Amino acid sequence: MKLATLKDGTRDGQLAIVARDLKTAVVADGIAATLQRALDDWAFLAPQLDELSRQLNEGRARRSFDFDPQRCMAPLPRAYQWVDGSAYVNHVELVRKARKAEMPAAFWDDPLMYQGGSDDFLGPCDDIVLRHEEWGLDFEAEVAVITGDVPMGATPDQAQQQIRLLTLVNDVSLRNLMPDELAKGFGFLQSKPATSFAPVALTPDELGDAWQESKLHLPLRSAWNGKLVGQPNAGVDMVFNFAQLIAHLCKTRHARAGTIVGSGTVSNQDAKKGYSCIAEKRCLETIADGKPSMPFMGFGDTIRIDMLDADGKSLFGAIEQRVCAAS
Amino acid sequence: MKLATLKDGTRDGQLAIVARDLKTAVVADGIAATLQRALDDWAFLAPQLDELSRQLNEGRARRSFDFDPQRCMAPLPRAYQWVDGSAYVNHVELVRKARKAEMPAAFWDDPLMYQGGSDDFLGPCDDIVLRHEEWGLDFEAEVAVITGDVPMGATPDQAQQQIRLLTLVNDVSLRNLMPDELAKGFGFLQSKPATSFAPVALTPDELGDAWQESKLHLPLRSAWNGKLVGQPNAGVDMVFNFAQLIAHLCKTRHARAGTIVGSGTVSNQDAKKGYSCIAEKRCLETIADGKPSMPFMGFGDTIRIDMLDADGKSLFGAIEQRVCAAS
């Protein structure tokens, strides 16, 4: 099934079921008021949501309406946990190469992951509000999973069983604030402002064969100012799959229901697949020419992130955002 | 007023008002089911909670009962944001000195702060469950504030207006996992397991003169295995006050209601005040003797963190935890 959260003036929005073709939706608040509520009691509520989804897809749901991504908040408008991996080590290697830094060999065995802010997510069509253009705003197109409760010490196999939903992410970054924060060693704080999410989160069974070995085997398409700049396959060159990322997180602690785990910027070794963040393009330029030439995003720029199924139909709906100056 | 969250089998517990002397309490679920709910609509709900608090303190509340910290969850058993500063730069300087690393001068002007996990907090009397003793478990005694909505770009004065509550924190750390995580540059993930909180969160007016200039001017007492090892004054040597820490967080993004901001390990330059984490003691040993001799916490060890008012009465109730092996 496909789930979305509709704007209704509240902090957590209203849970809705969305039809497979993203054309219609139906409010699910008779079952669970919010997505977090559904995740908190998934075993009991998911079968009821699934039945409503079946009715909607068969055209039998009462009070269905046209689905409008503009009305969507992030599937979880605020979450109790957002952690982001760097599973496409190719991306990490390029960044390091551009600044002539050796990549530690351990990066191929031990996932890099940061704890992100999760109190204030952006919906798929919300503006990215920026105070200063010179902070170097960049998009990062990613896949993410949303989990149930995962106990401390869970193995990747156990973690995989707790993957409830998948969605797409724009992990908005402020590149020019990063060097100083990374030098402090305490991770990202100011350089990672509010993160954006696709209109829809879906259960793995919606993906058929594209979901295998805890990876999503489809191209992730990023269009910057209307121009397709990246379409790497999210199932290729993913060194750590989602089950491994979750297990890494849970080495010393539990992860509770509603934890969102990102893949990191999707990146293929095949440079013809383009890029899922401007920083990667600038790294390639630096390696080739000694310096980057592509600027970061400016006020008025747009970013569109989408993933299509084998028939060319959008799976999650698109993230479509514009960069705006803070008033 | 003083607020607590009681265990009731749910993920978010039940909001209660606690009497000023911590002897009695009354359930507040007629006003707000949970503390997060109260914070979400503070302007409307806080006056109602305040009235109930007045009734309780005057012995007029119906259905009051004996307050038992053992029944408490963390005031916010899970939160949408937990960030922790390092406002006592003395502590940071000692850590650096012990490993013979220069401390960048910017650390005196630019707060160090990390984004922590907030999906699974421990209550004041919950066991700290540890898989491996050799990970080097340490306590960190801190003060924290809980905020309302703070807009992006807020000044320290604006941030101060949004401080709703204060509480105490045990920012549990796994010291021997830190060097590898810090070397990766992405902050703490595995080395910061579940954080623990005092039984009570209170509004600043409960502190009288002890709350000044966005600092809490009272000693924070840490007793390890029954022995008092630290009593530094939280108002002394705090280089960045809470208003400044919140403003730092909000430079590039909003902070939403229920954000918890920690002070970092409380530490005074006067070494006679003792230590609020074992790591600091080990740093002093290293500076004096070339190597640390104090071990980290082992299975069965206890830690008690408390703060007394001028009359010697506990303000927040005590954090009292035991370290246990994971089964």
Inter-chain CB proximity A252 and B83 less than 8 Å: no
Band of the pLDDT at B96, cuts 50, 70, 90? confident
Nearest CA in chain B to A39: B11
Q: Please list, in sequence order, all residues whose beta carbon lies within 8 angstroms of the beta carbon of residue B62, skipping any fewer than 6 positions away.
A: B26
Q: Please list, in sequence order, all residues whose beta carbon lies within 8 angstroms of the beta carbon of residue A156, skipping any fewer than 6 positions away.
A: A214, A241, A243, A244, A246, A247
Taking contacts as CB-CB distances below 8 angstroms, the residues of chain A near B177 are: 252
pLDDT in tens, B195-242: 999 999 999 999 999 999 999 999 999 999 999 999 999 999 999 999
Q: Give how far A209 is from chain B: nearest CA, Å.
A: 32
Inter-chain CB proximity B189 and A113 less than 8 Å: yes
B304 contacts B318 by C-beta, under 8 angstroms = yes
* Residue from B171, B252, B260, B327 whose CB has the most chain A CBs within 10 Å, to mutate: B252
Question: Of A255, A13, A32, A245, which Cα lies nearest the Cα of A148?
Answer: A255
pLDDT in tens, A130-141: 999 999 999 999
| pLDDT of the residue at A40 | 98
Taking contacts as CB-CB distances below 8 angstroms, the residues of chain B near A119 are: 80-81, 254-256, 258-259
Q: For residue A153, what are its two tokens? A: 């010490």
Q: Which residue has the tokens 């969507």?
A: A72
| pLDDT of the residue at B323 | 98
Which amino acid is present at B237?
D
Q: Please list, in sequence order, all residues whose beta carbon lies within 8 angstroms of the beta carbon of residue A91, skipping any fewer than 6 positions away.
A: A264, A265, A267, A277, A280
Question: Of A86, A261, A88, A74, which Cα lies nearest the Cα of A159?
Answer: A261
Q: How many CB pairs under 8 A join A and B?
A: 141
A147 contacts A261 by C-beta, under 8 angstroms = yes
Residues A20 and A2: their CA atoms lie apart, in Å, by 7
At residue B84, does pLDDT exceed 90? yes
Inter-chain CB proximity B112 and A187 less than 8 Å: no
Q: Give how far A21 is from chain B: nearest CA, Å.
A: 32
Which amino acid is present at A20?
R
Nearest CA in chain A to B193: A253
* Residue from B80, B128, B244 whose CB has the most chain A CBs within 10 Å, to mutate: B80
* Residue from A76, A80, A113 whose CB has the most chain B CBs within 10 Å, to mutate: A80
Closest residue to B189, CB basis, from A83, A174, A194: A83
Q: Give how far B308 is from chain A: nearest CA, Å.
A: 31
Q: Give how far B182 is from chain A: nearest CA, Å.
A: 6
| pLDDT of the residue at B290 | 94
Q: Give how far B10 is from chain A: nearest CA, Å.
A: 10
Taking contacts as CB-CB distances below 8 angstroms, the residues of chain B near A249 are: 189-190
Taking contacts as CB-CB distances below 8 angstroms, the residues of chain A near B180 are: 110
| pLDDT of the residue at B117 | 98
At residue B104, does pLDDT exceed 90? no
DSSP assigned state of B109: T
Facing residues of B142 across strands?
B169
| pLDDT of the residue at A128 | 98
From A91-100, A255-264, B38-47, B150-159, the region with the lowest mean pLDDT: A91-100
Inter-chain CB proximity A152 and B135 less than 8 Å: no
Inter-chain CB proximity A256 and B11 less than 8 Å: yes
Inter-chain CB proximity B115 and A114 less than 8 Å: yes
| pLDDT of the residue at B185 | 86
Closest residue to B120, CB basis, from A40, A119, A256: A256
Question: Of A219, A237, A231, which Cα lies nearest the Cα of A275?
Answer: A231
Residues A148 and B81: their CA atoms lie apart, in Å, by 19
Q: Give how far B61 is from chain A: nearest CA, Å.
A: 32
DSSP assigned state of B190: T
Average pLDDT, chain B: 96
| pLDDT of the residue at B74 | 98
| pLDDT of the residue at A103 | 85
Taking contacts as CB-CB distances below 8 angstroms, the residues of chain A near B114 are: 115, 186-187, 189
Closest residue to B182, CB basis, from A116, A180, A185: A185
A6 contacts A16 by C-beta, under 8 angstroms = yes
Q: What is the pTM of this model?
A: 0.98
Terminal alpha carbon distance of chain A: 39
| pLDDT of the residue at A48 | 98
Question: Of A215, A39, A188, which Cα lies nearest the Cα of A118?
Answer: A188
ipTM for the whole predicted complex goes beyond 0.85:
yes
Residue B245: HSE in the Cβ half-sphere, 13 Å Cα cutoff? 32
Average pLDDT over residues B126-152: 98
Q: Give how far A153 is from chain B: nearest CA, Å.
A: 8
| pLDDT of the residue at B327 | 85
3-state SS record for chain A? CEEEEECCCCCCCEEEEECCCCCEEEECCCCCCCHHHHHHCHHHHHHHHHHHHHHHHCCCCCCCEECCHHHEECCCCCCCEEEEECCCHHHHHHHHHHCCCCCCHHHHCCCCEEEECCCCCECCCCCEEECCHHHCEECCEEEEEEECCECCCCCHHHHHCCEEEEEEEECCEEHHHHHHHHHHCECCCCCCCCCEECCCEECHHHHHHHEECCEECCECEEEECCEEEECCECCCCCCCCHHHHHHHHCCCCCECCCEEEECCCCCCCCHHHECCCHHHHHHHHHHHHCCCCCCCECCCCEEEEECECCCCCECCCCEEEEEEECC
Q: Which residues of chain A have pLDDT under 70?
A: none
Residues A240 and A249: their CA atoms lie apart, in Å, by 12
Q: Give how far A229 is from chain B: nearest CA, Å.
A: 26
| pLDDT of the residue at A151 | 98
Domains, chain B, ordered by start: 2-71 (no CATH), 81-325 (3.90.850.10)
Closest residue to B115, CB basis, from A112, A117, A182: A117
Inter-chain CB proximity A78 and B79 less than 8 Å: no
At residue B29, does pLDDT exceed 90? no
* Residue from B83, B180, B189, B265 whose CB has the most chain A CBs within 10 Å, to mutate: B189
At residue B101, does pLDDT exceed 90? no
At residue B188, does pLDDT exceed 90? yes
Residues B148 and B161: their CA atoms lie apart, in Å, by 9
Q: Give how far B79 is from chain A: nearest CA, Å.
A: 6
Closest residue to A81, CB basis, from B117, B257, B258: B117
Inter-chain CB proximity B81 and A116 less than 8 Å: no
Inter-chain CB proximity A189 and B78 less than 8 Å: no
| pLDDT of the residue at A101 | 81
Nearest CA in chain B to A107: B184
| pLDDT of the residue at B224 | 98
